[in-house]
Amino acid sequence: MIEPLPSAVAVGNFDGYHLGHQQLIKRLRALAENMELSARVLTFRPNPKVYFGRSIPLIFTDQQKARILRSQKVDEVIFQPFGRIAHLSAKEFVCRFLISRLGMRALVVGENFRFGAGRTGDTDFLKDMAFSEGFHLEVVPSLTCNNGRVSSSRIRELLLRGDVEEAAHLLGRHYFIDGVVVSGEGRGRKLGFPTINLRTENQVLPNGVFATRVEWKNKLFPAVTNIGSSPTFSRSVRKVETHIIDFDQQIYQNQVRLHFLYKLRNEFRFDTAAELVAQIRHDVRKAFVDKN
């Protein structure tokens, strides 16, 4: 068996990669450099909460999480199939997995980290293990922002109620979703506001009308996005529809990224198409004329 490279390892779910996660990875990089170790990030697929049957919408897709973690100047990002280690006790996870398989000589975790079968392991347990097994442990304190702890669950709640501005403060960037542009019903073009329809694997889709930016081919375009069921036209299926300002290119089947800037209003039903058109004009003006 090939001996694993001596490593500093950061462990977490990293859903959304918020400011707290960024602090943890920053500490990992510094520790690895100071101790001359390989910097490894360990995360799980699927998310342990999902594995144990909790129905929670995740902020990131696995692809988004992999891309952003691999861009953080670390040596390796490991997506561990959680089912293969879920049965391990806390001690087995440390000794048999982290130390023996990953060559862990230093460990970085958040202060609320729990692990092992039955979630019996915590940071106090790790302190004892670090002493007995001879590895370096760093417990990164939780970050607070706007009178609360920065966490994926808090960000998830903010996004689901449409508060994308507050979520951006905790994420350290605007919330975004990725998707492929697909054909729609053509109703927006008939109203004078053509839209792109986005098919996305992102699970957190805030309801309402938002000022957004469409990222396509490394360029950003101002846009207004509606996420909902278009009650004016009695549609029941939720869709992501975006009107890109002063844009007339056909980009069907193209991959785009949609950045959420701030919420303009809730979605509501209009009695006539003319009233809807007037409201869309107002939304565009509010987003990119009055705001600036």
The mean pLDDT value for 195-211 works out to 95
Task: Tell me if 154 is assigned to some domain.
Answer: no
The mean pLDDT value for 45-70 works out to 95
pLDDT digits (tens, 9 = 90+) for 65-91: 999 999 999 999 999 999 999 999 999
Give the residue from 124, 140, 156 where a domain finishes: 140
Question: Is 250 found in the same domain as 202?
Answer: yes
Domain enclosing residue 249, as ranges: 174-290
Tokens standing for 127?
Answer: 């302190």
For residue 190, the model assigns a pLDDT of 57
Using 50, 70 and 90 to split pLDDT, how confident is the model at 276? confident
The mean pLDDT value for 258-267 works out to 95
Q: Which of 14-18, 120-124, 279-283 has the lowest mean pLDDT?
A: 279-283
Contact by Cβ (8 Å): 242, 260:
no
On average, the pLDDT of the chain sits at: 92
Question: Is 11 found in the same domain as 136?
Answer: yes
Torsions phi, psi for 6 (to 5 deg): -60, 130
Question: Is 281 found in the same domain as 194?
Answer: yes
Q: What is the domain-level CATH number for residue 82?
A: 3.40.50.620
Task: Tell me if 108 is assigned to some domain.
Answer: yes
Using 50, 70 and 90 to split pLDDT, how confident is the model at 286? confident
For residue 288, the model assigns a pLDDT of 75
Task: Tell me if 99 is assigned to some domain.
Answer: yes
Question: Is 255 found in the same domain as 131?
Answer: no
Question: Is 101 found in the same domain as 23?
Answer: yes
The mean pLDDT value for 58-63 works out to 97
Task: Tell me if 264 is assigned to some domain.
Answer: yes
The answer to whether residue 215 scores a pLDDT higher than 80 is yes
Question: Is 124 found in the same domain as 11?
Answer: yes
The answer to whether residue 189 scores a pLDDT higher than 80 is no
Question: Is 91 found in the same domain as 27?
Answer: yes
Task: Tell me if 148 is assigned to some domain.
Answer: no
Give a three-class secondary structure readout of the chain: CCCCCCEEEEECCCCCCCHHHHHHHHHHHHHHHHHCCEEEEEEEECCHHHHCCCCCCCCCCHHHHHHHHHCCCCCEEEEEEHHHCCCCCHHHHHHHHHHCCCCEEEEEEECCCCECHHHCECHHHHHHHHHHHCCEEEEECCCECCCCECCHHHHHHHHHCCCHHHHHHHHCCCCEEEEEEECCCCHHHHCCCCCEEEEECCCCCCCEEEEEEEEECCEEEEEEEEEECCHHHCCCCCEEEEEECCCCCCCCCCEEEEEEEEEEECCCCCCCHHHHHHHHHHHHHHHHHHCC
The mean pLDDT value for 104-124 works out to 97
Q: Which of 16-20, 162-166, 172-176, 189-193 has the lowest mean pLDDT?
A: 189-193
Distance in angstroms (rounded) separating the CA atoms of residues 149 and 155: 10
Q: What is the domain-level CATH number for residue 197?
A: 2.40.30.30
The structural domain count of the chain equals 2
Task: Tell me if 2 is assigned to some domain.
Answer: no
